[in-house]
């Protein structure tokens, strides 16, 4: 039985510009064929078990020829797979999407188109340039700057000049001199504002502003990196007034977030709100222990009133334990047991089940939790702690100092290291790696065992996490509190310090 193909527009780079439908389709993919222009953040959303096929395509460098890409889509679909063709921008705006459909139609393969946010509009917007403005223009025109095989252009420059509208050239940086000369020869005012917008919507975006008459010279004095677009029109003069992206506190920062996949989004969103480009690449995965016999026995004892306290040391522990409890019983099994959580993140996980922690330590770490909970417990209290198979020893050591406290430490889940695609390259291209636990540091290190970790700027949620990073020679910053909000603040402070140093 044949599969199906989705042509999905990935947008210009910022993962936040991927459409809701595009994200939903991508997360159901079995095969993903992607271009070089797809942002790393979007690639981070590809399901872990999906087959990845790189189709390349950047100016002067084609990993797969177009005909080969078309054939790959057909073959994977004929094999019964859910195939996502992930394309930068919009697949039908100079994305050759129509060509890729022709072979599918010929063989009767079902397909869908998921439009994407085109760089022609999004990149100027991220640079404070409205492509239309009633005081400046009444039209906008998108033109490919890509030359044909015979090196000629199919562009009516005189018609473009007569429109008096905003002109957006895609894939035109290599032909910048020819494009500007063509406009000048057609009668455009040499003083018409113009700009080259490089790597728009990403942490490395840059704007080179000039006029049609001077843009070639100004760009020759710097190195323009692709992808980049060219914008011509009076609206370009508004960039200094309307520029907003560069004013955010984490503008220009590229951060790698290594939390487990099910927990990564909250931290990533907080960083993006501050302007960072975030790569969501979980270094670890949380899986329930294979043999749940001990966990099941603890749940049965809990339902019979056998514990006074139920203690959680991570959001993952909350999820694994309650998934199992609900599979066997329901929340009434808790009876009158009191709940303790190591921090606000774990507290939020409990709130998803309609539960609130009775106890939070003053400092969100295992040692403080153990010491302060010990003081809060009545003599002889029975305490159940479902947590990672390899857990923090300080918590148990502190509790065992209490008066006749009966502690049941149950291994509810394992922490496994997850593969990080192109991890070596990512270390070289990120400003900060953000760690929320010592296990995420270990998982990250396991993915790149031969890396020079002295080049990694690590922002850590607590002293134990920082100690794990320091063992490997990473430069570390530690949040004042063990909360995601404090962790983001620590990234801001680290970014300010590095800007001063550089």
Active site residues: 35, 57
Tokens 């044909």 locate to: 148
In whole angstroms, give the CA distance from residue 264 to residue 262: 6
Degrees, nearest 5: CA angle 251-255-259: 140
Count H helices and E strands in the chain, helices first: 19, 20
Closest CA to 115 of 97, 139, 142: 97
Structure token digits, residue 380: 């002889």
Structure token digits, residue 317: 């522990």
Dihedral sign computed on CA atoms, order 172, 178, 181, 186? negative
Structure token digits, residue 159: 């018609």
CB atoms inside a 10 Å sphere around CB 146: 14
- β-strands 284-288, 277-280: how paired? unpaired
Q: Which residues contact 92 (CB under 8 A, 6 or more apart)?
A: 98, 113, 115
Torsion of CA 234, 240, 244, 250, to 10 degrees: 140
According to DSSP, the residues that pair with 80 across neighbouring strands are: none
3-state secondary structure of 142: strand
Dihedral sign computed on CA atoms, order 170, 175, 181, 186? negative
Tokens 């930068």 locate to: 88
3-state secondary structure of 20: helix
In whole angstroms, give the CA distance from residue 162 to residue 278: 42
């Amino acid at each position: 039985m044949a599969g199906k193909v989705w042509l999905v527009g990935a947008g210009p780079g910022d993962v936040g510009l991927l459409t809701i439908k595009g994200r939903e389709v991508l997360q159901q993919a079995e095969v993903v064929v992607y271009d070089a222009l797809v942002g790393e953040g979007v690639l981070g959303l590809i399901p872990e078990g999906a087959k990845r096929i790189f189709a390349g395509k950047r100016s002067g460098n084609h990993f797969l020829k177009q005909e080969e890409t078309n054939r790959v889509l057909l073959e994977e679909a004929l094999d019964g797979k859910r195939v996502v063709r992930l394309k930068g921008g919009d697949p039908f705006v100079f994305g050759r999407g129509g060509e890729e459909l022709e072979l599918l139609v010929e063989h009767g393969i079902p397909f869908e188109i998921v439009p994407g946010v085109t760089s022609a509009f999004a990149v100027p917007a991220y640079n404070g340039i409205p492509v239309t403005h009633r005081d400046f223009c009444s039209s906008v025109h998108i033109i490919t700057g890509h030359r044909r095989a015979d090196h000629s252009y199919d562009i009516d420059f005189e018609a473009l000049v007569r429109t008096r509208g905003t002109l957006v050239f895609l894939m035109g940086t290599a032909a910048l001199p020819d494009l500007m000369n063509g406009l000048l020869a057609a009668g455009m005012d040499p003083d018409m504002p113009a700009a080259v917008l490089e790597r728009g919507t990403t942490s490395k975006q840059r704007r080179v502003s000039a006029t049609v008459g001077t843009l070639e010279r100004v760009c020759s004095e710097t190195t323009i990196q692709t992808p980049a677009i060219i914008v011509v029109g009076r609206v370009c003069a508004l960039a200094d007034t309307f520029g907003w992206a560069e004013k955010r506190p984490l503008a220009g920062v590229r951060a790698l977030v290594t939390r487990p996949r099910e927990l990564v989004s909250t931290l990533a969103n907080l960083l993006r709100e501050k302007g960072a480009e975030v790569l969501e690449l979980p270094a670890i995965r949380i899986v329930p222990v294979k043999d749940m016999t001990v966990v099941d026995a603890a749940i049965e004892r809990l339902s019979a009133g056998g514990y006074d306290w139920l203690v959680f040391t991570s959001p993952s522990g909350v999820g694994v334990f309650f998934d199992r409890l609900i599979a066997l019983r329901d929340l009434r099994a808790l009876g009158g047991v009191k709940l303790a959580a190591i921090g606000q993140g774990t507290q939020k996980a409990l709130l998803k089940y309609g539960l609130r922690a009775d106890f939070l330590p003053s400092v969100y770490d295992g040692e403080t939790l153990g010491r302060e909970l010990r003081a809060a417990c009545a003599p002889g209290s029975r305490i159940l702690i479902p947590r990672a198979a390899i857990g923090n020893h300080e918590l148990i050591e502190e509790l065992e100092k209490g008066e006749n406290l009966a502690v049941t430490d149950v291994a509810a889940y394992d922490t496994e290291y997850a593969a990080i695609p192109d991890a070596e390259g990512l270390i070289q291209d990120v400003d900060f790696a953000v760690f929320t636990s010592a296990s995420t540091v270990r998982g990250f290190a396991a993915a790149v065992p031969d890396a020079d970790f002295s080049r990694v700027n690590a922002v850590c949620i607590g002293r134990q996490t920082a100690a794990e990073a320091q063992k490997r020679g990473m430069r570390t910053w530690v949040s004042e509190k063990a909360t995601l909000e404090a962790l983001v603040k620590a990234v801001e402070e680290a970014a300010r310090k590095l800007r001063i140093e550089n």
